[in-house]
């Protein structure tokens, strides 16, 4: 019941801006990336400590983490609008902000297919309809091209995308990575897990024998860290046939960079 009330509360205050707000705070790294891609560099006055892309985002004032942003910090930055996501920001935070008469907007897209529409809606709310539409269309056409070229993929292969090798954490359902694997015409073996980033069983990985393994690059030296796991998986076709690929973290966030992430994966599979 409560979430519904909050959502309707949110909807009631997210009327479109007539002109672009001058002071924007982003409470999620993917939103920050979208705002920068829309050319709002100078309007963004606050970001989370996770917002590290593009490089210029690091210089923006930090308002705390995604799950624990500082209310005081946000209020003191006098934002015209605070942009949140349904994925990682606490709902009560929006309520607190409203009690300070600070306008909020919730970025609702959670999957790759929802991203262009999400960007359009955000653009509408920020009074940047045309620019947002352009970005959305760019993403849509790239997605279409990618799925069209993979339509002729010789066969559907089994893929596993590893986020962290020890303990084994992989990309499950409801992630941009899972969508990307589908767009490339393949099957994510972790698609039936109960959570988006499940702690995955190594045994199960061997039994499901993925043909292709992607390992996302984190900050740490992931190649060294993966050695132990890959040794345990030496029986898996992907490892036997040298089809283990290290890819960037472009797909970790639902923002404009996902296209590069999918292109990178497609390039590995060529």
Partner 1 sequence: MSKIKLAALFCAALFVMLLSLFLGSHVINPFQASDVEREILISIRLPRVIVAVLMGMALGASGAVLQGILKNPLADPYILGISSGAALSATLGLLSGVYIFGKFSIPLTAFIGASFISIVVGFFGWKEGKLLPERLLLAGVGLSFLLYAMLMFLISISSHEGIRRAVLWIFGDLSIADWSMIPYGIVFIIAGLYISVSRAKALNALMLGDEIAHSLGFAVHKERLLFFLSISLMTSASVSLGGTIGFIGLLIPHMVRFIMGADNRFVVPLSALYGGVFLCIADLIGRSLLPPMEIPSGIITALVGSPYFLYLLRKRDVLTA
Interface residues with partner 1 (CB under 8 A) are: 48-50, 65, 68, 164, 166-169, 190, 192-195, 198-209, 218-221, 224-225, 227-228, 231-232, 234-235
User: Which CB, 49 or 98, lies closer to partner 1?
Assistant: 49
Token readout for 19 is 């002109």
User: Which CB, 14 or 49, lies closer to partner 1?
Assistant: 49
| Rounded CA separation 218/247 (Å) | 10
In eight-state DSSP terms, residue 9 is H
Q: How far is CA 243 from CA 149, 166, 214, in A?
A: 20, 20, 8
How far apart are CB 113 and partner 1 at their closest, in Å? Answer: 25
User: Which CB, 225 or 268, lies closer to partner 1?
Assistant: 225
The phi-psi region of residue 51 (left if phi > 0; otherwise alpha if psi is between -120 and 50; otherwise beta) is beta
How far apart are CB 256 and partner 1 at their closest, in Å? Answer: 21
How far apart are CB 227 and partner 1 at their closest, in Å? Answer: 7
How far apart are CB 216 and partner 1 at their closest, in Å? Answer: 10
User: Which CB, 75 or 206, lies closer to partner 1?
Assistant: 206
Largest CA distance in the chain: 60
Token readout for 128 is 């940047």
Closest CA to 160 of 254, 233, 220: 233
């Amino acid at each position: 019941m409560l979430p519904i009330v909050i959502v309707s509360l949110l909807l009631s205050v997210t009327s479109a801006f007539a002109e672009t707000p001058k002071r924007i705070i982003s409470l999620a790294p993917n939103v920050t990336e979208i705002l920068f891609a829309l050319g709002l560099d100078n309007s963004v006055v606050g970001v989370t400590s996770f917002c590290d892309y593009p490089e210029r985002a690091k210089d923006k004032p930090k308002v705390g983490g995604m799950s624990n942003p500082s209310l005081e910090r946000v209020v003191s930055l006098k934002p015209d609008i605070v942009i949140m996501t349904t994925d990682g920001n606490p709902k009560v935070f929006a309520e607190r902000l409203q009690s300070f008469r600070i306008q909020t907007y919730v970025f609702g897209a959670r999957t790759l297919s929802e991203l262009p529409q999400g960007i359009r809606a955000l653009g509408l709310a920020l009074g940047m309809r045309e620019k947002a539409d352009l970005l959305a269309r760019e993403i849509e056409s790239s997605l279409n091209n990618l799925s069209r070229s993979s339509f002729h993929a010789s066969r559907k292969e089994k893929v596993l995308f590893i986020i962290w090798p020890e303990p084994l954490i992989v990309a499950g359902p409801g992630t941009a990575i899972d969508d990307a694997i589908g767009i490339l015409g393949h099957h994510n073996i972790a698609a039936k897990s109960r959570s988006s980033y499940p702690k995955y069983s190594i045994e199960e990985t061997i039994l499901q024998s993925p043909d292709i393994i992607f390992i996302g690059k984190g900050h740490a030296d992931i190649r060294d860290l993966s050695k132990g796991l890959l040794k345990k998986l030496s029986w898996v076709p992907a490892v036997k046939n040298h089809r283990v690929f290290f890819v960037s973290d472009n797909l970790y966030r639902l923002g404009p960079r996902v296209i590069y992430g999918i292109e990178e994966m497609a390039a590995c599979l060529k």
